[in-house]
Structure 1
């Protein structure tokens, strides 16, 4: 496997990459290294990679879930006219190689101690690959909505319900558990957009891969997707959870070319070994086993320790979600919630998403308050300001829909805003309203998920970068009136989850042991005295969506298509 040239798509496109001023940082990952525990002689580790939207984290994880050391690097995102959002796969790879080198050089571990490699990544993205795996253009990531009009045409028909042809929707739901979202942010919409707008590049594409499956190919040379990583294409028959396969009718209905999709392999299995070229770049011995990749939703579920059916977790990173494993395949098309194949073999996982959560704090710091979002203390300072303000933020409301929304409404034109501002509104009220606005959004999603599973969560495991904030954990407990369990090292939940899945695939760890290896740092109890305040404001939060969605559609429909 040779070295991937930077900006390799420039050889295949007449249009150069977007100008630097479109490069932004979303909840960016800092450059950093941390040794957590000392390595013991004879210990073995999984090298786990978590490619988040802000950049990769790389960690060495023991069979007991202990993280010996971890390193991180930032990557940029280019926001383009019409709802575009792209990243450079070459930058991904360079960042992973750099972080891995630091990890091995500074961690005091021999490369021979690495027993396996596991990858997880931002989910629902698209990498158009040449026959050798080189990207032909920038990766289209999960935030990109340019394919909205194309997917609406594909899902429409003479007899429609919620914009879907009834017969098509029934087939999609019966086989997959869901359907392509009208926001245009699923991989099928990305591929259709490329076919419509870059036909020569589409024709030259050998295979379209999810970001995590591109990483697996980069290490092993194999084009493959796991049952769980392929789900968001909505072209697989998921009824037999142990034998997921492409359905030719769904592939045709979506307008895709089966020849341009990867082969399917079961989750939590060894998909290949590190090639000679991959070993040279990563500093590993050739032949190390590589496990199937997983999306961030799936690895977070494992890394949260909430592995029993109906045991829920709340994730806040750039985006957010509430999920749990369930013993059934089911779909709620109204609230955009479904159960899909899990990264754990033979299991289903609840899928939903909020587009922006932690990204709202980055936006607040950089755009509203003009602070340096990359500064080491920015989130700690925001925490202190939010904590200093009383619950309710002076009745200031923030709606956190900076990039539209997916669940419990699929609406790519809705936008964020501060509401009920006055001349007396303070900086601290603005800051706290962002924390509370994300929590109100979580409560809105919580109602949809609890309706879906038919029961109430008494508590939620809290993971992701947002879970580092004790202030946000308490606000979520108070707004949702649920117990919040802050998992230890919550920002590392995805790398931990990917590593635990790898140890499971290598036969070293059972599911019960995986759950037991995850430590809860602190539990936050809901403050009943805040319930009345938050109940009232939550009602107005949902009302703001209902009252303004038509306005935002008129303002943004043309610019988003």
Structure 2
């Protein structure tokens, strides 16, 4: 029998990836197509859903034109996408306004009004904390980046859109609507609306009390399915655009964070993975619902039935390195374009970028561990975990006249890893054990230097997974194979191999322990200054 494939579609903030994943879990081919992002004053960030669809069609047709597989050998399509973005659509499925990105913070005041109270803990009313945490395992984030915050913002700032909206959809659910005509979402994807009872992972449902507390209409939210469910078949018009058969199944799919967990090979409980793309997170599947309010972390429903996923996110990781590259670029006026660094939230194609990035990494390789005391704090867009602070900002500390470009680059690599060390200690406490070894995925995992820095800074073994940039797309493909009955989740770890293992360097242990202490002290001492500088201007 000829090899069969899943078409895995991975929509990030800056690019869409289309991949053919074989029934053995291997990525046989991948194409990338950029999508634009509009950043607005006052914390706004928007995208045009039509740009997403056009990128999906372009990347898919280019991939199919390579001749890896004909349409008769594509058994299913499965989407993964950026999470916590919101598309308001009418009854015909047409967007009523641009999609609100996960980066958008304009709903922060709406969340504050919703979750505040006369007696508060960490800025939340005590009664609100009890209501939400007991049923969902978390509570709407104060930064205003959750899907609920986006909908509340639309209701306040665009009331006509709110009234006209037939459904509010996550990005992967909007793509599924275009593919099948079905308005639907999945149990784990709806989590950041904070209106589902998540206490029984096998029976997640909308909760009437939470809907009333949030002020949302159940009718404006999609019906829920397991991530592995067969949502339907391709609409004839969509099949024609993509060059596929109308009989092709469409699997319900899952957000990028959940897909990356599967694509890392870490489907067993407490098998950790560290994703290093534009943003970063350290996660693992667990069998329990739990919340760490102090570190803005919780276990949330996973794409794997009956399991939860430890959820946290560092806002900027690879984005810091890309931003430094752009700052150090040729001052002749050439505007550098962003290079792909992430599975779910990374960017586009610039043939010159890899050479420039390689040059910068090589400069960093010539600098000793610890960057001669230079520290970089990576909070270029505020932070979510291990602290939730929308006002904190990044910077270089302890610059001297001996500081070189190589020092700047290595300090960025180390600063992002130091933030991950801070997070890792919180995650270890959360799960009750030291998580090791760590699977490293995402675009940042392609750098052997960065892999070694992570091993040294975290002081634990790091597995550099094969083809780490494709983890989310691979995860979507593996998820679809489970949905088709071709695999079980227990089979996944054997299908995803490590390219290399990096062990901590004993001689660097003391250096990074000292830098880690200084890193956290910088935050404690300067957070008030950042708040005064940034709260008024909201920049």
| TM-score normalized by the length of structure 2 | 0.95
Q: How does 1:68-87 map to 2 (within 5 A)?
A: 68-87=28-47
CA distance in structure 2 between the partners assigned to 1:321 and 1:532 by the alignment = 25
Within the alignment, does 1:304 sit opposite 2:264 as a pair?
yes
Q: Secondary structure at the match of 1:376?
A: helix
Within the alignment, does 1:443 sit opposite 2:421 as a pair?
yes
> Residues 437 and 462 of structure 2 are in contact (CA less than 8 Å); yes or no, is this contact kept in structure 1?
yes
Q: What is the aligned length?
A: 521
Q: What CA deviation, in whole Å up to 9, does each residue of 1:457-498 have, x standing for no partner? A: 121000011111111100000001010001000000001000
Q: What CA deviation, in whole Å up to 9, does each residue of 1:233-282 have, x standing for no partner? A: 11100111111101111112122222211111122111111111110111
CA distance in structure 2 between the partners assigned to 1:509 and 1:168 by the alignment = 41
Q: What CA deviation, in whole Å up to 9, does each residue of 1:492-512 have, x standing for no partner? A: 000100010100011000122
CA distance in structure 2 between the partners assigned to 1:485 and 1:299 by the alignment = 18
CA distance in structure 2 between the partners assigned to 1:183 and 1:120 by the alignment = 24
Pairwise CA RMSD of aligned residues? 1.3
Q: Secondary structure at the match of 2:354?
A: coil
CA distance in structure 1 between the partners assigned to 2:146 and 2:231 by the alignment = 25
Q: CA deviation at 1:378?
A: 2.7
Within the alignment, does 1:179 sit opposite 2:139 as a pair?
yes
Q: What CA deviation, in whole Å up to 9, does each residue of 1:341-380 have, x standing for no partner? A: 1111111111110111111111111134458343232322
Within the candidate set 358, 361, 367, 1:389 is matched to 367
Q: How does 1:283-298 map to 2 (within 5 A)?
A: 283-298=243-258
Residue 473 of structure 1: aligned partner: 451
Q: What CA deviation, in whole Å up to 9, does each residue of 1:78-110 have, x standing for no partner? A: 111111111221111111111100110113321
Q: Secondary structure at the match of 2:65?
A: helix
Residue 341 of structure 1: aligned partner: 301
| TM-score normalized by the length of structure 1 | 0.91
Q: Secondary structure at the match of 1:523?
A: strand
Go from structure 1 to structure 2 and tell me whether the alpha carbon gap of 1:246 and 1:539 turns closer, same or farther (over 3 Å shift): same
CA distance in structure 1 between the partners assigned to 2:383 and 2:214 by the alignment = 22
CA distance in structure 2 between the partners assigned to 1:346 and 1:168 by the alignment = 26
Residue 171 of structure 2: aligned partner: 211
Q: Which runs of 5+ in 1 are unaligned?
A: 1-40
CA distance in structure 2 between the partners assigned to 1:85 and 1:553 by the alignment = 21
Within the alignment, does 1:132 sit opposite 2:92 as a pair?
yes
> Residues 313 and 322 of structure 1 are in contact (CA less than 8 Å); yes or no, is this contact kept in structure 2?
yes
Q: CA deviation at 1:146?
A: 1.1
Within the candidate set 317, 329, 337, 2:277 is matched to 317
CA distance in structure 1 between the partners assigned to 2:445 and 2:354 by the alignment = 17
CA distance in structure 2 between the partners assigned to 1:376 and 1:529 by the alignment = 31
> Residues 38 and 45 of structure 2 are in contact (CA less than 8 Å); yes or no, is this contact kept in structure 1?
yes
Q: Secondary structure at the match of 2:531?
A: helix
Within the alignment, does 1:224 sit opposite 2:177 as a pair?
no
CA distance in structure 2 between the partners assigned to 1:463 and 1:42 by the alignment = 30
Q: Secondary structure at the match of 1:299?
A: helix
Within the alignment, does 1:526 sit opposite 2:486 as a pair?
no
CA distance in structure 2 between the partners assigned to 1:379 and 1:203 by the alignment = 47
Residue 248 of structure 1: aligned partner: 208
Q: CA deviation at 1:134?
A: 1.7
Deviates more, 1:295-304 or 1:366-375: 366-375
Deviates more, 1:148-157 or 1:247-256: 247-256
Within the candidate set 54, 58, 61, 1:94 is matched to 54
Q: CA deviation at 1:307?
A: 1.2
Within the alignment, does 1:425 sit opposite 2:403 as a pair?
yes
Within the candidate set 220, 236, 239, 1:279 is matched to 239
Q: Secondary structure at the match of 2:144?
A: coil
